[in-house]
């Protein structure tokens, strides 16, 4: 500790030759000059004294006939004097320390922990609107306020937690479990046929079955009645529930013109930019185009995302040109239209046969697809009761 203080204040190591060493030491003591590491080898006396007290050593040395020679100057004052022309380096060190201290007050990484892999749309954008984004000041983020606003913005979340670790903001959330659907058994309704067909299977869960297997029904016919007969012979209304499977025939038609305008991309413009601590520096003019997209890549240090990266903006200009389809292309496009129209519906139906018929129109081709399948034709229709 004493050595540290001496080094911080600066000291001089000197040697004194000739004269009377003992008298020199006594005169230094009388004049209040503190000496240490005093060595006397019979020829010269070596000692150390502080830089400020060394200025007063000339008089005791002269009075004792000693010649003083400086061996070494040590300490911060002497070091600073030797490097006084390198103040820029010191300034740089001080500025870098200040810059690191200042930059550590910002958030540079956002980590979203999704429970069970459930992703929320536009979550990052909502966070940015609430002030949690790369480059935001940590002291300006009200954690509890952000958590409450996130829960209000996303009712599908049951719990949200925002934690700030250093320069990283970590958001964890848990999706809520939806309440099970309560079956409504009180509203009276009937089950009617959504399509015409031949009944193959009747599964009634509530109400009274009005048709049997093998019967032909027209669209709108009653399949399961909402009128039930009680044990005492009285009748009442209930909600009819069930599935009624019938063999139906369906036709889907698609038409395609032989000459059709198709959009094709002709020109793509790109612009790169540097993303530095939340500040995006573009390198060029903004790309023009009808379709605009922006992507970015950030540097990573192991698992830590650094606030430095490259962004790329792309603009696509579209130009409509007219092309002529071949016969095979028209057929395929018509087939695709037919399939896409009711893809989800027919994925649940049991298709037994499919027939295609192609007709030529004026500068167009018409494809008709006939499907025979077994499907659920039950359609619930509420019954409105007038109260007297």
Q: Which of residues 306-345 bind another protein (CB under 8 A)?
A: none
Give whichever of 46 and 111 is closer to another protein, judged by the CB atom. Answer: 46
Give whichever of 56 and 183 is closer to another protein, judged by the CB atom. Answer: 56
286 near 271, Cβ under 8 Å? Answer: yes
Give least dist CB 76 to another protein, A.
22
34 binds another protein (CB under 8 A): yes
Give whichever of 24 and 154 is closer to another protein, judged by the CB atom. Answer: 24
38 binds another protein (CB under 8 A): yes
Report the residue from 8, 18, 39, 297 that binds another protein according to the rule CB under 8 A. Answer: 39
CB under 8 Å to 37, separation ≥6 — which residues? 13, 46, 47, 48
The half-sphere exposure of 97 on its side-chain side, counting CA atoms within 13 A, is: 5
Give least dist CB 79 to another protein, A.
24
36 binds another protein (CB under 8 A): yes
Give least dist CB 28 to another protein, A.
7
Tell me which residue of 348, 349, 274 sits closest to 313, measured CA to CA.
Answer: 274
Q: Is 231 exposed, middle or buried (0-12, 13-18, 19+ CB in 10 A)?
A: exposed
Give least dist CB 26 to another protein, A.
4
CB under 8 Å to 340, separation ≥6 — which residues? none
Give least dist CB 70 to another protein, A.
19
x/- track of binding to another protein for residues 13-32 (CB under 8 A): --------xx--xx-xx--x
Q: What is the enclosing helix (H) or strand (E) of 165?
A: strand 157-165
Give least dist CB 66 to another protein, A.
13
Rounded to whole angstroms, what are the CA distances from 284 to 213, 277, 314, 316, 375? 73, 20, 12, 16, 60
Binding site for another protein (CB under 8 A): 21-22, 25-26, 28-29, 32, 34-42, 45, 47
């Amino acid at each position: 500790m004493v050595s540290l203080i001496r080094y911080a204040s600066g000291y001089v190591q000197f040697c004194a030759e000739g004269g009377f060493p003992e008298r020199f030491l006594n005169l230094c003591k009388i004049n209040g000059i503190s000496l240490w590491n005093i060595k006397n080898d019979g020829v010269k006396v070596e000692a150390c004294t502080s830089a400020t007290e060394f200025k007063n050593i000339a008089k005791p040395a002269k009075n004792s006939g000693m010649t003083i020679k400086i061996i070494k100057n040590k300490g911060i004052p002497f070091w600073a004097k030797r490097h006084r022309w390198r103040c820029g380096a010191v300034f740089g060190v001080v500025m870098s320390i200040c810059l690191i201290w200042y930059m550590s007050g910002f958030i540079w990484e956002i980590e979203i922990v999704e429970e069970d892999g459930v992703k929320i749309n536009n979550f990052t954008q909502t966070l940015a609107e609430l002030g949690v984004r790369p480059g935001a000041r940590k002291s300006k983020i009200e954690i509890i306020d952000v958590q409450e606003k996130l829960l209000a913005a996303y009712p599908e979340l049951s719990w949200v937690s925002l934690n700030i670790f250093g320069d990283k903001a970590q958001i964890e959330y848990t999706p809520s479990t939806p309440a099970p659907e309560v079956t409504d058994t009180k509203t009276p309704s009937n089950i009617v046929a959504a399509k015409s067909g031949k009944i193959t299977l009747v599964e009634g869960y509530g109400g009274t079955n009005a048709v049997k297997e093998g019967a032909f029904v027209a669209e709108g016919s009653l399949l399961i009645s909402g009128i039930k007969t009680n044990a005492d012979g009285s009748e009442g209304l209930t909600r009819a529930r069930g599935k009624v499977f019938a063999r139906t025939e369906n036709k889907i038609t698609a038409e395609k013109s032989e000459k059709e305008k198709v959009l094709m991309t002709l020109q793509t413009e790109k612009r790169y930019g540097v993303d530095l601590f939340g500040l995006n520096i573009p390198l060029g003019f903004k790309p023009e185009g009808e379709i605009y997209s922006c992507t970015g890549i950030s540097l990573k240090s192991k698992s830590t995302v650094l606030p430095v990266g490259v962004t790329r903006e792309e603009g696509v200009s579209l130009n409509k040109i007219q092309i002529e389809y071949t016969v095979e292309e028209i057929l395929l496009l018509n087939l695709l239209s037919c399939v896409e129209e009711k893809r989800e519906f027919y994925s649940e139906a049991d298709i037994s046969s499919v027939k295609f018929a192609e007709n030529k129109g004026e500068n167009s081709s018409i494809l008709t697809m006939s499907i025979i399948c077994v499907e659920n034709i039950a359609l619930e229709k509420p019954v409105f009761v007038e109260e007297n």
